[in-house]
Structure 1
C-alpha cells in the first residue's frame, strides 16, 4: 500500500510494482523495457501501458505540485526516481539501532553513492584481514569505515572497536589509544606485545581512524597486530599508505560527478552521487528544495570544482538556506579560481579542499572568524561557556560570542548536540585542523592555548567535591566527556611553549579523572612530569601532595608494590602533616595501609592503623572511624588475632549504619567492602563458614557496586577462598574468571597473578594436580616479583601439599620448611597453623619413619590454631592427626583430638571439612558400639 499522512492512496497493483522498483533504485535511469519485463513478466504489453501507469503514479504522488518531483522521464532512455528515499522498519525492533560491544560511532544515516564501495571494502576485509582506506581529507573514509563496521559487526559477534587517532599529537600514545578503545589499560605507551597478548585469541575488528599524522607509530603497531593476532582484522583510514606487511590498499575515489560535456538538466545531473549529496544536504537545511534545470549546470560545475569530495560538498551546501542556491553557488564559484593560487607543490585535492574551507572562513563575520579559530583549541565537544572563556576578550560582550557560535552552527562549521539538556558543540576534525592553522597565522596559538588550559583547570578543580557525592558511573561519564580536552591542555602545558605553573596545577587537577577512569599509566606519566617541574616554588604544597598521592596509588596497581610506591606515599604524607590537613592525611594513610597490607608488613600496617585511629578521634567523623576500624581489623587479622579482627569489623559496620556516608570517595581504601571482606575472613578462620559465606557474598556485591576495578578485584581476591573452602566449584570458577578478566582489562597485574593462583587451587579441588601445580608456581613467581604477599602463603601451602601428593616429598618439604623459617624471622604468624599442618601431611605421606615428626608438626599446628582462635585450621589439623593416629591403631587418641576440635564449632555446621570430621567420628562410635 501507498500512504500519505496515514491515508491510503488509490494505486493499482501494477503501478505500485513500478513505484517500488523505481524507488528501490533512486537516481538510476531504468529503461522502459526493464520495467515492462519486471512488472509484466508473464504477459506481453505495449509501451503505452507503462506510460499510463507512470501517469497514475505521478497523479497519486502529486508529482509537479508545489515544486515536488518524484519520477523523471529521461528522453530515449527510460524513467528515474528523483525523490528522496528513506528506509523505515515495520516495527520497533526493526527501527531500533543495533548495539555493539565496542565504542563504534553511530551508523551513517545514508551513504550517497558509496554502496558498491562498502560492499568491496567488506569483501576485502574478510579476505585480506588488513585494509587501508586511502584518500585525501574529506573524501569520506571515516564514514565508509564506520558503515563497514556496523554492516560486518555480526560476523565479529559485535566486537568492533573504533580508535580515533585524530586527537593524538604524540605518536607514543598510539598503542595506549588502541588499548583504551578496547577497554584495556596497558603498562606503557608502546606496550604492543602486551596488547597482542591480551587480544591474540579474540576475533575482532579494530578501525584505526585518521592515521596520517602518526603514520610511523600506527604502521609499526598495525604490522605487529597483523602478525601476532591471527583473528584480529584491521581497517585503517589514512591519507598515505602504512606500507607494512599484510596491508591491502583500497583507494577511496571521489563521488561520481557530472562530466562537463554531459547533459546538464536537473534529471541528468541528479544521476550522479555528488549532485545527489549536494541537493540532499541543501534539502535537509532548507526544507522542500527542488533542483531546476536552470540551476543544474551551476551545481554540476560546483561538484566538479570540489572534486566530488563529500565534506567539501556538504560545506558548500551550508549557506543555501540563507543565500539561496544561485547566490551561494555563484559566490563560491567566483572565489574558487583566486583561492587556487596557493602552494604549487600541494596536490590538487588539497588545494580544492583548502579553497572550500577558506571560502567558508571568508564568509564569516569578524567575530565569527575570531571565535572559529579560537574554539579550535577544544578537542571534541565544548560548551557555550567554554567558548566564551576561551574565545572572548576580557570585558567583551558575551552576546557577541553567542551570536558567533549560532552563526557557525548555521553555516555547518560546528556540529551541535544536546547533552543532559545542554547544547554541546564540536568542530569536525578536518575543520578543526584548518581553524588551528588560522589560529597560528594570527599568532594566537600559545595565548589561546593558555586560556584553554586555564579553562580546563577551572572545570576540574571545583568538580572534586561536587562529583564525589555522585555514583561512580556518573563521575566516570562526567570525566570521560572532558578527557580529550584535559589531554590536549596537558600536552601544550608541558610542551616547549607551555607554562610550568599551569602545567603542574593542571596535572594536580587531572589526577582524579585519570584515577576514576582507571587510566593509571597515563596518571603516572603526567604525575612524574609534574614532579620534575615543581622546583622550590611548590615544595611542600598541596599540589605536590595530591600528585604524589595519585602517583603512589597508580604505581601500586600497575607496576608493583615497590620502593617507589612507599616513597611517593611517604612524601605526600610529609606534606599533609606540614599542611595540617587531617582529612588528606587520613586519605594517604588509607593508601599506605593498603600497601602494607599487600606486602604483609604487619608492623607497618599496625602503626598506620593506630595513627589513623588517633586522627579519626580528632575529626569525630563516622566515615573516618569506619575506615580506621577496617584498618585495625585487617591488622589484627594479619597478627592472627581473629576474634579482635571480628570485633573491629562489627564496630566499623555499626559506624556505617549510623548515618549516610558523604566522604567515602575521599579515601584510597574502599573501607565498606574491606569491612565485609574482613568479616568474611575472620569468620572463615573462626570456622563459622555459613556466616563467612554470607559476608563473602555481600563483600563481592559491595566491591562490584563500587564501580572501581581495583576495589572489585581486591574484594574478589580475598573472598574467593571462602567459596573454595566450601568446595563451591561453579561459583568460585565464575568469580575467578571475573577476577582474571577484570585485572587483565585494567592492567592490575597483582590481581592477575592472584587469579592464576586461585585457578590453581580450584584445579587441585578437581584433583588436577599437574595443571594446578603449574599455575601455583607461576602465580608465586609473579607475586614475588611484584612484592605482593597477601595470598602467597595460601598458594605456598597448597603447592607444597600438591607436590607431596605427586611424590615430590623433598621438594615439598624444602618449600614448607623455608616458608616457616621465613615467616618466623619476619614475625608473621598468621599462616603458622596452615604451614605446620602441610609439613605434617607431607611427612606422614613420605614414610612411616616420619610419623613421629609428622605428629609433632600437626600438634604444633593445632596449638597455633588454638592460640589464634583459628578453629577452622584446628579442625583441619585434627582431622589429619586423627587419620595418622588411626593408621597406627591409636583410636582413643584420634577420637580425643577430633572431638575437641569439633566442640569448638557450632552444632550443625555444614561444609566439606565438617562432614569429613563427622564421618571419622561416626566410624569411631560405630566401632565402639560394635566392640560393646
Structure 2
C-alpha cells in the first residue's frame, strides 16, 4: 500500500526543557541519553557523538524551535564553528533515521529560526520522569502520546461540561477511544485544577470492594479502613482536584456508589468516568463517544475526498507510524474508505486493521476483513489486555451480560443493519418467554453500548456494529443456533415485507424507496441463507416473492431477475400457480426489458404471469401484469397489441370500480392513441385519467408495473407538443419530471425524461436539454437501464444537431439506433432516424439518407405505425430538395404528404414545419403566391402561444413572402 496523509501535524509529547530524559521512543527508534545510544529495533545505529548530542538535545525539547546558535553553544561550548557544521550533523541524523525517506519526519528545519524535533515521543517503560516533566504532564496522568483525530471539539465540550457540572461519564463501546479522550480532557482542564489530576485505571480491579482503595493508592494514601470510601472522601474533601476513573463497567455498582459520594459530599472534587454503561447516580452527566466519521458509500471516493474524514485520517496515520508515510492513491482510496465503513469508524478496530496493512498490504487486509473471524483476531501487542484484539474487547463486554442478554445478543446477529423490537422478538424469542423480557434484554444491550439506536424514525431501530456482529455470529455458532435463528430471520422478513407493501401503499414513492432501502441488507442476507444448502425451500419461495417489490422499487433489476429466476427454477407442484409464482414470474420480464432486451422472451414471460393471475382469479394482479404487457407493446410500437391490452384493462377497471385502475386504463388508451397519431384522442384520455386520480379517496402507491401518474403527464406533454401548444406542453413536462422524481424509481424518471426532452429540444433550450440529457445518461448507467442509455445518446445527437455539429451527432444517432434495434425498443427510434437522415443529407450523403428514410416509411406503413409519418415524409422532402433541382417535384409531393398526415393527426407543429419547408422550396422556384398560401394557412391553424424557433422561422418567412408578393403585385 502506498499511503500518505497530506500535511500531517506533529503531536509531540510535552517534556521538560531543562533535564535529561533517560530512554525515549519514537517510531521504531529508542534513544538513550544515559548510554548516549540510538537503536532501531534493538540494534544500535552508528551515529557520531556530535550528531547524537544534537539529536538528544532536540528530542528532550519536542516541538520547541531550537536556534542554531543554541545548538552550537551546547554541542561545541569551547569551540568556534560554522553553521555549516550543524547542517552536516543534522543531515547525518536524518540519514540514520530515514527522515523524509519514507515520509516519517523527526527533525524539521524552521526557516530563519532553527531546528525542531517533530516526532511523537513516548518514555520507555521503567524510565524515571523528571519533576519538571511530571509537572507538565499533570500528576497521575499516564505519560503516553495522545493522537486526537476528529475529537478536538468533543474534548473541549467535555472539558467545559466537566468544569461546569463536576461529574461526567464518557459512554461508549469498547475500542471507541474513551480512555484517550479522558486523558486529553485531563490535559485540557489541567490548569483549572492546579495540575491536581489523578488517573485511575480500574481494569485490574476485580473486587468491587477495592475500588475506593485503588483510588486512594493513586492519590498517594494508604488506607486501613475496611470501608475506605468515606475515609478517602474526608481526606480530600477540601481539595480541588479531578479524578478520572477509567474502565468502570465491570465494577459499575461500586464505582457508582463511590462517585456519588464524591459528588454529594464534596464541592471541589470533579469526577470523569469512562464506561460501557452509565453509572445512573445523582449528578452524572453523559457524554456519548461516537465513532469517527467515515466516508459514506455514496460519497466521492478520491484520495482527497476520503482524507477529509477522521476515520481515514486515523487509518492513514497509523499505517504511516508502522510502515512509513507514502501516498494514498485514488485507486486505493475506495478500499480504505470501505475498510473504515466496515469497521464502523471504531478507532481500535481501525488501528488494528492499519497494523495489518502495514504488515500485509492493503489487498491482503481487505481480503482478511471479509472473514469475520479473522477480523476479531487482529491484534496489537502493546495495547492493554482488553484492547489487544477485537475479540478481547468484546469478551470484556460479553462477560458482563446477563444470561438473557447473551441469548438475545447472539440471536440478533442474524440482522444486517437496523432492526426493530418486534423483529428482535420474532428472531430471538422462545416459546413461553414474554415479549417484555426480550425488550428488557435489548434495552440492557443498548445500555452496555453493544448495540446502537436510531430514534429519528417513526419506530425506534437498533443495530449491531459490524465488528460486534461478527463476534455475536461466532457466539451463535458456538451455541449451534445458526440454522434456527437464520430460519426465523427469513420467515420474519418474508412476513414483514408482505405487510410492508400494504403499509407503504399510501406513502410517496421516495418514502417508499427509503423504507425498502432500509430492508435491503437484511433481504439479501435472508435470501442467501434461504437458497443456500441449509435453507428452507418454502421460506425461500415466499421470501423471493415478497422481495421482488424491494428490488423493483430500488431499480435493482439485475438482482431482482437473478433471485426470481432462482425461485422459478424451484417452483413446481402446488406452487406452480400460486400467488408467490405470480409475483415472481411478473418481475422477470420487467427486469429483462430494462436490462437486456425487449424481445419475445419478455412477451412469453408476461403471458405466463397473466395465465397464473387468471388461474388465481386475482383481478388486481391481472391488471398489474397487463400493465407490463402494455409496456412491452408500447416499446415495440405494437399498436394493435397495445390497443387490445388497453381495452381489456378498461373492462377490468370498470369491474373493480377503482379510480387508480381506471387511471391506469386511461393511461394505456392514451398511449395507444398516441402511437396511432391521434393526438386529440390522446389528450382526452390523459385528461380523463388525471380526473380519476383527482377523484380517488386518498393517493396510494401505484401497484402496477409502470408509474401511470407520470405516464399520464407525459402523454399530456407530448400530445400538446404535437399540437403546437408548447407553453402548456412545457408546464406538463416539468410536472411529469417532478412526479417521476417523487416516485423514487429511476426507471420511471428515465422514461419521463426520455419522453419530455423533445419539448425542450423544440424550444432550442440548450442548457435545460443538456442538463436533462446528462441526468438521463447518469441514471441509466447507474442502474443498468440499457434502453435509456441508448436513448440518452440519441437525444445528445439531436442536441448537437441544434448547434450544427453534424459529424458528432451522426455518430451518436447511429449508435443509439443500433442499440435500440438490438434491444427491440422502437419507441423513439423513428425520431432519431429522421434526424440522422437530414444530418447525412446536409453532409452530402443524399443516397444513404434517402434510402434510410424510404425504408422507414415503408416499414411504418406495413406495420400501421402512423405516429412518425409526418416527420418521415418531411425528411424525405428535405433530402430530395437538397439533392438536385430535378428532384424538386418529388420533394414537393413528399412535403405535401407530410402536411396532409399532420392535418389528419392534428399534429399542427409538424404541419407548420413541413409548410415552412415547402414555402422555402416554392420560393426557390419563384412561386411566391403558392408559398404564401400554404404557409399562411398553416400559421392560421397554429394555436396562439409562446414563441419558439419553428414559429419564429415561419413568421419571418411569411413576412418575406408577403413583401415579395406585394412587390410582384
User: Is this a same-fold pair by TM over 0.5?
Assistant: yes
1:917 paired with 2:950, answer no
**Which range is displaced more, 605-614 or 568-577?**
568-577
Q: How far apart in 2 are the matches of 1:858 and 1:145?
A: 77
Q: Which residue of 2 aligns with 1:124?
A: 326
Aligned match of 2:508 in 466, 471, 494?
471
User: Does the alignment pair 1:709 with 2:709?
Assistant: no
> Does 2:373 match 1:314?
no
Answer yes or no: is 1:780 the counterpart of 2:817.
yes
Closer/same/farther in 2, CA of residues 52 and 403 from structure 1, 3 Å limit: closer
After superposition, give the CA deviation of every residue in 1:138-161 in whole Å (9 maximum; x if it has no partner).
99797579989xx9xxxxxxxxxx
Corresponding residue of 1:732: 769
Q: Which residue of 1 aligns with 2:940?
A: 903
2-structure distance, mates of 1:891, 1:768: 32
Contact between 2:588 and 2:605, CA under 8 Å: does it hold in 1? yes
Partner of 1:807: 844
**For residues 700 and 469 of structure 1, what CA distance do their matches in structure 2 show?**
20
Q: How does 1:263-662 map to 2 (within 5 A)?
A: 274-275=383-384, 302=385, 308-309=388-389, 311-312=390-391, 314-315=393-394, 318=397, 360=398, 365-409=402-446, 413-418=450-455, 420=457, 422-662=459-699
Say if 1:744 and 1:26 are closer, same or farther in 2 by CA, change over 3 A: same
Change (3 A) 1:62 1:767: same
Kept in 1, the 8 Å contact 2:717–2:732? The answer is: yes
**How far has the Cα of 1:497 moved from its partner?**
2.1
Answer whether contact 2:545 2:583 (CA < 8 A) is retained.
yes
Correspondent of 2:367 among 207, 211, 215: 211
Pairwise CA distance, 1:415: 4.5
Deviation of 1:758 (Å): 0.4
Conserved? CA contact 1:664–1:670, under 8 Å: no
Aligned equivalent of 1:188: none
Give 3-state SS (helix, strand or coil) of 2:702's partner: helix
8 Å contact kept, 1:623–1:661:
no
Size of the alignment, in residue pairs?
Answer: 716
- 1:102 alignment partner, one of 298, 321, 327: 298
CA distance in 2, matches of 1:122, 1:916: 69
Deviation at 1:400, TM superposition (A): 4.0
Shift of 1:899: 1.6
Moved more, 427-436 or 763-772: 427-436
Residue 741 to residue 615, structure 1, CA distance change in 2 (3 Å): same
CA contact (8 A) 1:886 1:894 kept: yes
Q: Does 1:894 align with 2:899?
A: no
- Cα pair distance change 1:653/1:407, threshold 3 Å: closer
Mean Cα deviation higher: 697-706 or 641-650: 697-706
Indicate whether 1:762 and 2:799 are aligned.
Answer: yes
1:210 deviation in Å? 4.8
Query: Is the alpha carbon distance of 1:615 and 1:387 closer, same or farther for their aligned partners in structure 2, counting shifts above 3 Å?
Result: same
SS of the residue corresponding to residue 941 of structure 2 reads: coil
Secondary structure of 1:537's counterpart equals helix
Closer, same or farther in 2 for the Cα pair 1:899/1:31, shift >3 Å?
same
- The answer to whether the Cα contact below 8 Å between 2:14 and 2:137 also exists between their aligned partners in 1 is no
Structure 2 CA distance, aligned partners of 1:413 and 1:519?
32
* Superposed CA offset, 1:40-91 (max 9, x none): 99999xx999999999996741544787899x99xxxxxxx998999xxxxx
Q: Where does residue 898 of structure 2 map in the other structure?
A: 861
Aligned counterparts of 1:812 and 1:843: Cα–Cα separation in 2:
10
Alpha carbons 1:212, 1:238 under 8 Å: kept:
no
Kindly indicate whether the alpha-carbon contact (under 8 Å) linking 1:377 and 1:449 is maintained by their aligned counterparts in 2: yes
Contact 1:118 1:147 in 2 (8 A): no
SS at match of 2:328: helix
1:61 aligns with 2:188: no
Distance 2:946 2:312 in 1: 66
Q: Aligned-pair distance for 1:495?
A: 1.3
**Contact between 2:294 and 2:309, CA under 8 Å: does it hold in 1?**
no
Out of 377-386 and 732-741, give the one that drifted further: 377-386
Residues in 2 aligned to 1:146 and 1:699: alpha-carbon distance in whole angstroms: 48
Segments of structure 2 that go 5 or more residues without pairing to the other structure are 1-8, 20-59, 74-129, 140-188, 202-214, 220-241, 247-271, 274-290, 355-361
Pairwise CA distance, 1:439? 3.4
Higher Cα Rg, which structure: 2
How far 1:513 moved relative to its partner? Answer: 1.1
Structure 1's 727 and 421: CA in aligned 2 closer, same or farther, altered over 3 A? closer
Structure-2 residue corresponding to 1:154: none
CA distance in 1 between counterparts of 2:63 and 2:729 reads 78
Contact 2:135 2:195 in 1 (8 A): no
Query: 2:313 & 2:853 partners in 1: Cα distance?
Result: 68
Deviations 1:789-831, CA, capped at 9 Å, x for gaps? 1100000001011111100011111111111111111111111
Tell me by how many angstroms 1:632 deviates: 1.0
Question: 2:835 maps to what in 1?
Answer: 798
CA separation of 1:55/1:430 partners in 2, compared to 1, >3 Å: closer, same or farther? closer
- 1-side partners of 2:617 and 2:712: how far apart? 28
The correspondence of residues 168-179 of structure 1 with structure 2, limited to 5 A, is none
Gaps of 5+ in 1: 1-22, 74-80, 87-94, 152-205, 216-236, 241-251, 258-273, 276-301, 319-359
1:845 aligns with 2:882: yes
Whole-angstrom CA distance in 2 between matches of 1:760 and 1:146: 51
Specify the alignment match of 2:707 in structure 1: 670
> Conserved in 2, the CA contact under 8 Å of 1:36 and 1:50?
no
Kindly tell me: are residues 585 and 893 of structure 1, through their superposed partners in 2, closer, same or farther at Cα, counting changes over 3 Å? same
Partners in 2 of 1:839 and 1:482 — Cα distance? 55
Report deviation, 1:118. 5.7
Aligned-partner Cα distance in 1 for 2:851–2:296: 53
Give the structure 1 partner of residue 731 of structure 2.
694
Q: Is the Cα contact below 8 Å between 1:680 and 1:692 reproduced in 2?
A: yes
- 1: CA distance, partners of 2:349 / 2:480: 36
CA distance in 2, matches of 1:536, 1:775: 50
CA distance in 2, matches of 1:569, 1:462: 25
Secondary structure of the corresponding residue to residue 462 of structure 1: helix
Counterparts of 1:470 and 1:128 in 2: how far apart (Å)? 40
Match of 1:684 among 717, 721, 728: 721
**Corresponding residue for 2:783?**
746
Return the TM-score normalized by structure 1: 0.69
Q: Write the distance in 1 (CA, Å) between the matches of 2:328 and 2:871.
A: 56
Give, in whole Å, the separation in 2 of the partners of 1:586 and 1:55: 77
Return the offset for 1:481: 2.3
Instruction: Give the whole-Å Cα distance in 2 for the aligned partners of 1:577 and 1:551.
Output: 18
- The answer to whether 1:875 aligns with 2:875 is no
Alpha-carbon distance, 1:878 to partner: 1.2
Query: Residues 116, 531 of structure 1: CA spacing in aligned structure 2 closer, same or farther, 3 A cutoff?
Result: closer
Q: TM-score, normalised by structure 2?
A: 0.67
Q: Using the TM superposition, give the Cα deviation of residue 488 of structure 1 relative to its aligned residue in structure 2, in angstroms.
A: 1.4
Query: What do the CA deviations read for 1:731-787 (whole angstroms, capped 9, x no partner)?
Result: 111111111111111111111110100000111110010000000000000101111
